[in-house]
Structure 1
Amino acid sequence: MHRAARNRARTLGVLLGAGMLAATLPSVSGAAEPAAPRAGDASEALNAGSTGSTGSTGSTGDGNAGNAGNADRAKVAERAGGGPGTNYAVDDAFTSDRTKWWRQDRFGMFIHFGAYSNLEGEYTRPDGTVCRDAEWIMRECDVPKDAYEKQAAGFNPADFDAKAVVKAAKDAGQRYIVITSKHHDGYAMWPTKVNKWNLRDHSSFDKRRDIMRELKKEADKAGIKLGFYYSIWDWHDPDFSDPATFPKYKKRMYAQLKELVDNYDPAMLWFDGEWDADNPVNRWSPKDGAELETYVKGLKPGLLVNNRVGKRRVTDGDFGTPEQEIPEAPVDGQPWESCMTLNGHWGYARYDHDWKPAAELTRNLLATASKGGNYLLNVGPDSKGRVPQESVTRLRAMGDWLRAHHQSRTVYGAGYSGLVEDPEWGEVSREGSKKLHAAVTRWPKDGAPLHLKSRTPFEITGARVLGSDQKVTVKKSGDGFDITPSGGPVNDTATVIELAVKSATGKRGSGQGLTAQIWDNDSFEGEPKVTRTDPAVNNSWRFDGSPARSIGADHFSTRWTGSLQPRYSDTYTFTTVSDDTAKVWIDGKLVIDSGVPHDPRVDKGGIRLKGGQKYDIKVEHREQGGEAHMKLLWSSPNQQQEIVPRSQLYAD
């Protein structure tokens, strides 16, 4: 994990995850491991989904509809190796069938386990002094390479019990597991054929065992998804830091990732170590990230990939990764997952007894789910492979809370409430369109009400305290509602008040998308080269793609026009994710003005719209060199964040 973000943290207002934007860096010379040869019909297959004179789209359809087709088109594009006419935007990660399990499950187990675990957080130097760290101990304690290799040769996690690990996750209510297959020290935790720096060939561990295979078997039996963490940064490989030899390292990295996908069929690859650094120098670039994302999704199109595959930008991967923090509001432009520790370290440190209370951890989970995020909570097995009992105890307490009184409804399948502001007394999540779950962490005293501030008109038609038959009174009051339970809390960690709500009914449209005009220059000069209908504005062309086969990968511009039909009468927030420029007009009003060339970033603008009414819309994008992205999303109190869908867009 990132060294600078390892301290104990609470909910913070600073967003370090999907919203963090990095400058574009020069790519390292040398090609990645080649993709499969270009298929003769690949470019033609990419044309599916567009109508008009010429060109391809690859844009998403309406909500979940059409995701399978988009995934198929993306698969063809990836196997074809990209090029003009390629759109790498597989689907809308906010609504896709591909990401549905992850968005529903919300709660996962992180496992940091590797050769560093053998030291258990302490390294004794030749002069007898002791240096303390955990998964960063090799670098932070300046452990000589030969000394680190020597201690790793004695690593013997014989007590690693995959069944016990999966049981701990199951008892906690965690529905997926992500384990470190290779951390920054380069040590592989599976029997890779790429090198000998791995658990089978360089340890005292039983050579007949494969802990990744054992974990996969037990996770499958328990219905838990398994993913692998993989560090891009490698302190051990001599070819990593030298630009002249980096392509050799990259080829080996690709080969290892292929082993992981082919041999263990993970649901997710969770990358790390993408940031600029020295000792050793890390030159990983956005282009390296784009190539790697293309490669691994070509191995398995349904694979989920985090944003650290690139440079932790909103255009990288499928979801953002704030570390040791919980954003104060839903992240713009990309789903997100907050990863946090149970104590102060990711890897095992025998001296770290600063364990977070189970109540705090449970409240972190509730805060994350209420803002539409996932919570990835870490355990660090010791040198023998045993998960500390302190971790197991706290995880079980979290699971006990989730199982009691159906309180898990606040987390699984729930998300951002939208309808109400965050209250000071707890967290509110939304389940479907008819229920809010108010998790009260500060119970009112002496019959005082709990106030909920509305963000849009709606009604509360019923209220009950889960696990109690006490009466709950709901009254409209000022800018929202006063909710007054008649008794005390059911649980000191959080007591859930379930609210039945009646909100606006959405008006689904019958649109087919917007008219797209595409120029082979970046200034909209002359006649457009391509005119067609695009089902949505959802484009990730990266470095080598473009809107159509007849348009080059650099210096093009696109204008989408037509009309927009909102489902609800609400104040809408429109969001663009773009590189290089983006502008959006609605009924002639400039809602987003991001016309100065920029690196990948998010821009937003708000406007009040009436449900069912059609509004003129114009969207412009210019690509002036380098990579290219353009996505148009919307959200409102009644509308979750998503790519504006086909059904609500009408071509000229």
Structure 2
Amino acid sequence: MTHLVPTPAQLRWQQLEFGVFIHFGINTFAGKEWSDGTVPASDFNPTELDAGTWVRTAKEAGARYLILTAKHHDGFCLWPTATTDYSVTSSPWRAGEGDVVREVADACAEQGIGLGLYLSPWDRNADCYGDPAAYDDFYVQQLTELCTGYGPLMELWFDGAGSVGREYDWARIIAVVKEHQPHAMIFNMGQPTIRWVGNENGLASDPVDYVVDRTSDTQYTDSSSGLHAGHYLPPECDVSIRRGWFWHPDDEPKSVEHLLAIYYQSVGMGANLLLNLPPDTRGLIPDEDSARLKEWKAERDRRLSGAVEASVENHDGGATLRFPAPVTFNHLELVEDLHSGQRITRHMVSNDGADLLDAMTVGNRRIHQLPAITASELHVKVSGNGGRLVSARVYGGALEAGVPAIPEGYEAPTDAPE
């Protein structure tokens, strides 16, 4: 493995671990996942929109950042842009004087949570989309408005859907980010600093490599990603709390067990989790979604309670973990020292000569669920050039907790133009 070193901004982003996605826009009122840019702007009229409750709900669930779909593929803009009339300005909401992005930005700043924005490169409403040079001007102006009007941004989300085969002027686009939001993470396209995990189920798989030569193995990524050699690109696992990304009245939130399985296979694999919470036509997170989040957070906290820190003695080929006294636990958390890059490619843990687990990467935070055992020390054997653990702990607060599973046959709906 090439030992590329993360930037301080990348490390800070990885340590955030969990964020919330907000898919909200004209699709919410049209009952669609992807609309084609012809749904009238007058249909956008949330009656009780409260961005403060969005942010509060996210924060209470443990999220440390929030990303809003400022413009989805339909081209409808949630801020009063100068580039198009297809925006909140042409809607009855707030008598055409509203700005969803502003309300979300203010709520994030007030409640101390990071703000990110999603600006779809593909635009099914813009007349100039068929003229690449003209659309680059259009898109750069939209991005500049977002990067200069709403305070610090921690992430900019460039969705590749609909753009395979299309060349955008990424050098010019990314120059806007570097000038106005130099610390923002860039998702997936242009000159990315983080990457898509490659599915919309929110699941990473072992190994989770941070050094890759492409943003993902998917149809949404081609040469336009701008990658030509290895880059340090930690993954983000995006998934919706419901089947759909936008709110639909006949949809419902995932079970606590399903959400737990996602958590173990994203944050627990060393990747970031981005969980979508779609507001309804009132402009509020549905009550059943908020309740499910509280249940999920309570069960996560229960399982990861009773923490006991281990002293970590690194040595050639691994580490010894020692506890102050014998401890009974069923979760083991390991954290790798990433300041010199991701180096651990495999790790094996044993207790008193008995093998407990054999897995691949550790990364930012690896959480293993085990049968309940009692130990006073553990031995970790690692493969990789100079890999070191920076911390380790065990949890024994819910020794009877079972291993959660994704419902059999479950897959997120495949996005497709309508």
Query: Do they superpose with TM above 0.5?
Result: yes
Deviation at 1:167, TM superposition (A): 1.2
Q: Give the residue type in structure 2 aligned to 1:284.
A: R
Q: Pick from 98, 119, 132: which aligns with 1:209?
A: 98
Call closer, same or farther: CA 1:400–1:268 in 2, change over 3 Å: same
Contact 2:25/2:44, CA 8 A, preserved across alignment:
no
SS in 2 for 1:239: helix
1:251 and 2:137 are equivalent in the alignment: yes
Query: What corresponds to 2:196 in structure 1?
Result: 321
Q: Give the residue type in structure 1 aligned to 2:277.
A: V
Call closer, same or farther: CA 1:408–1:480 in 2, change over 3 Å: closer
- 2:275, 2:209 → 1: CA distance? 19
The aligned runs of 1:379-528 (5 Å cut-off) are 379-404=277-302, 407=305, 434=312, 457-462=318-323, 464=327, 475-480=351-356
- 1:409, 1:195 → 2: CA distance? 53
Deviation at 1:222, TM superposition (A): 1.5
Query: What corresponds to 2:83 in structure 1?
Result: 194
Deviation at 1:298, TM superposition (A): 2.3
1:106 and 2:17 are equivalent in the alignment: yes
SS in 1 for 2:95: coil
Call closer, same or farther: CA 1:233–1:458 in 2, change over 3 Å: same
Q: Give the residue type in structure 2 aligned to 1:272.
A: D
- 2:284, 2:11 → 1: CA distance? 32
Q: Give the residue type in structure 2 aligned to 1:327.
A: A
1:28-69 residue CA offsets vs partner (Å, 9 max, x unmatched): xxxxxxxxxxxxxxxxxxxxxxxxxxxxxxxxxxx9xxxxxx
The aligned runs of 1:13-92 (5 Å cut-off) are none
The aligned runs of 1:47-196 (5 Å cut-off) are 95-119=6-30, 121=31, 134-136=32-34, 138-139=35-36, 145=38, 148-149=39-40, 152-196=41-85
Call closer, same or farther: CA 1:405–1:342 in 2, change over 3 Å: closer
Query: What corresponds to 2:403 in structure 1?
Result: none
SS in 2 for 1:368: coil
1:11-42 residue CA offsets vs partner (Å, 9 max, x unmatched): xxxxxxxxxxxxxxxxxxxxxxxxxxxxxxxx
Contact 1:465/1:495, CA 8 A, preserved across alignment:
no
1:446-467 residue CA offsets vs partner (Å, 9 max, x unmatched): xxxxxxxxx9543342364579
- Across the aligned residues of Structure 1 and Structure 2, the Cα RMSD in angstroms comes to 3.7
- 2:194, 2:271 → 1: CA distance? 10
Call closer, same or farther: CA 1:494–1:230 in 2, change over 3 Å: farther
- 1:408, 1:221 → 2: CA distance? 32
Contact 2:72/2:120, CA 8 A, preserved across alignment:
yes
Identity %: 26
Query: What corresponds to 1:50 in structure 2?
Result: none
Query: What corresponds to 2:250 in structure 1?
Result: 351
SS in 1 for 2:96: coil
1:261 and 2:152 are equivalent in the alignment: no
SS in 2 for 1:200: helix
Q: Give the residue type in structure 2 aligned to 1:344.
A: R
- 1:224, 1:157 → 2: CA distance? 24
Deviation at 1:346, TM superposition (A): 0.1
Deviation at 1:496, TM superposition (A): 9.3
Contact 1:155/1:203, CA 8 A, preserved across alignment:
yes
Deviation at 1:503, TM superposition (A): 7.1
Call closer, same or farther: CA 1:500–1:238 in 2, change over 3 Å: farther
- 2:57, 2:306 → 1: CA distance? 17
Call closer, same or farther: CA 1:460–1:409 in 2, change over 3 Å: closer
Q: Give the residue type in structure 2 aligned to 1:237.
A: A
Deviation at 1:392, TM superposition (A): 0.9
- 1:498, 1:228 → 2: CA distance? 46
- 2:91, 2:33 → 1: CA distance? 18
- 1:154, 1:433 → 2: CA distance? 59
SS in 2 for 1:178: strand
Contact 2:21/2:275, CA 8 A, preserved across alignment:
yes
Q: Give the residue type in structure 2 aligned to 1:303.
A: A
1:98-130 residue CA offsets vs partner (Å, 9 max, x unmatched): 2233211101110100111112x2xxxxxxxxx
Call closer, same or farther: CA 1:457–1:256 in 2, change over 3 Å: closer
- 2:98, 2:373 → 1: CA distance? 48
Which TM-score applies when normalising by structure 2? 0.69
Contact 2:204/2:271, CA 8 A, preserved across alignment:
no
Query: What corresponds to 1:17 in structure 2?
Result: none
Call closer, same or farther: CA 1:638–1:386 in 2, change over 3 Å: closer
SS in 1 for 2:78: coil
Q: Pick from 297, 307, 317: which aligns with 2:178?
A: 297
- 2:295, 2:137 → 1: CA distance? 44
Call closer, same or farther: CA 1:501–1:200 in 2, change over 3 Å: farther
- 2:116, 2:260 → 1: CA distance? 23
Contact 1:570/1:638, CA 8 A, preserved across alignment:
no
- 2:8, 2:70 → 1: CA distance? 27
Q: Pick from 116, 122, 132: which aligns with 1:227?
A: 116
- 1:498, 1:294 → 2: CA distance? 54
Q: Give the residue type in structure 2 aligned to 1:331.
A: D
- 1:192, 1:258 → 2: CA distance? 10
- 1:153, 1:406 → 2: CA distance? 47
SS in 2 for 1:375: strand
SS in 2 for 1:340: strand
Contact 1:190/1:212, CA 8 A, preserved across alignment:
yes
Call closer, same or farther: CA 1:237–1:335 in 2, change over 3 Å: same
SS in 2 for 1:370: coil
Call closer, same or farther: CA 1:337–1:104 in 2, change over 3 Å: same
Please say which of residues 344-353 and 325-334 is displaced more in the overlay. Answer: 325-334
SS in 2 for 1:221: helix
1:331 and 2:215 are equivalent in the alignment: no
Deviation at 1:495, TM superposition (A): 9.8
Structure 1 runs not aligned, ≥5 long? 1-62, 64-91, 122-133, 278-282, 311-315, 411-430, 436-454, 469-473, 483-492, 505-568, 573-608, 612-635, 641-652
Q: How many residues align?
A: 332
Q: Give the residue type in structure 2 aligned to 1:267.
A: M
Deviation at 1:154, TM superposition (A): 3.0
